[in-house]
Amino acid sequence: MTWTFTHDLDSFLTTAEPAAALHPAGNTLVLTITAALKRHGLRFYGDGAPLFGWWRSPAGVVDGVIVWTPPHPLQVGMVPDEAVLSLANAFEEWGVNAVNAERAVADALTASWPDRAIAQEQRLHRLAELTPPSPCPAGQARTATTADHELLVEWHRAFGRDTGQPVARAESSVDDRISYGGLALWEHRGVPVSMAGMTRPTAGTVRVAPVYTPPGLRGRGYAAAVTAHISRAALDAGAADVLLFTDLANPTSNGVYRRIGYRPVADRAVVTRTAVPTVT
């Protein structure tokens, strides 16, 4: 039973990705992050060198994965209980100051941090049966194009500010999603009023993100409508599962997604520390 850590993305993709793909919901963040790094390069999320890791069971089977793209939180996929302590010890060596993991795992990994704080609590949802909002708000959805680039970049950055998760490389992220039809807009009288995006398919799974409506236009059903639209687009493109995350501090959005057919899968937490350990 041991962790293997490496900066070699190809090694991770060859050794660990096939096992992680057997549980695409629990490993959705790790899978989409590593796929983006493969497509766009190792500095896609920032200038720090990414770190990849996998845990092998006594039988030699990979059943735990992580990826870290500094300065963002270390993303923990599905990991067994017996892998947590040694992973937490590795954190101290690396100087990790933020972790994103399933709630119980996040608590266990950061139990020794005297200055720990819950920065965000998230809930992962899976689409059960898509139920478009009724009545539907005024307007209609359309696929975003390069003509929408400036607005989409602005809204991606605003989404990051609202959620406390700054969007790295907003311009390139928008360009990439436009290239495969991964962004949709809801328009009212020809004016965009809400946005929803989706990831590329990974292990048969698509995740809806981001969903954003400017503050002055909220509460009118636009987000539900554009999310239902892009969820249908993901299904039509062949996705076996459609996922999305919500912020548990926002009961309104949780209710919106439940009404259009999303059901809870697991809760996650982003845990941070204020005093960064010194790496020697």
Residue 59's identity, in one-letter code, is A
In three-state secondary structure terms, 65 is strand
Dihedral of CA atoms 190, 196, 201, 205 in degrees, nearest 10, equals -130
Measured from the Cβ of residue 192, the count of other Cβ atoms closer than 10 Å reads: 22
Spatial distance between the Cα atoms of 119 and 122, rounded to a whole number of angstroms? 10
**Mean predicted lDDT score pLDDT of the chain:** 94
Beta bridge partners of 84: none
Give just the sign of the alpha carbon dihedral 102, 103, 104, 109: positive
123 contacts 254 by C-beta, under 8 angstroms: yes
Tell me what percent of the residues of the chain surpass a pLDDT of 90.
86
User: What are 13's two structure tokens?
Assistant: 């993709």
- The pLDDT tens digits for 55-113 are 999 999 999 999 999 989 999 999 999 999 999 999 888 989 999 999 999 999 999 99
CA atoms within 13 A on the CB side of 40: 20
- Give CA angle at 155 (226, 72), nearest 5°: 110
Where is 254: in which H helix or E strand?
Answer: helix 251-259
- Rounded to an integer, the average pLDDT of 140-156 is 97
- The pLDDT tens digits for 225-279 are 999 999 999 999 999 999 999 999 988 888 999 999 999 999 999 999 975 544 3
At residue 102, what are phi and psi to the nearest 5 degrees? -55, 145
Spatial distance between the Cα atoms of 192 and 55, rounded to a whole number of angstroms? 45
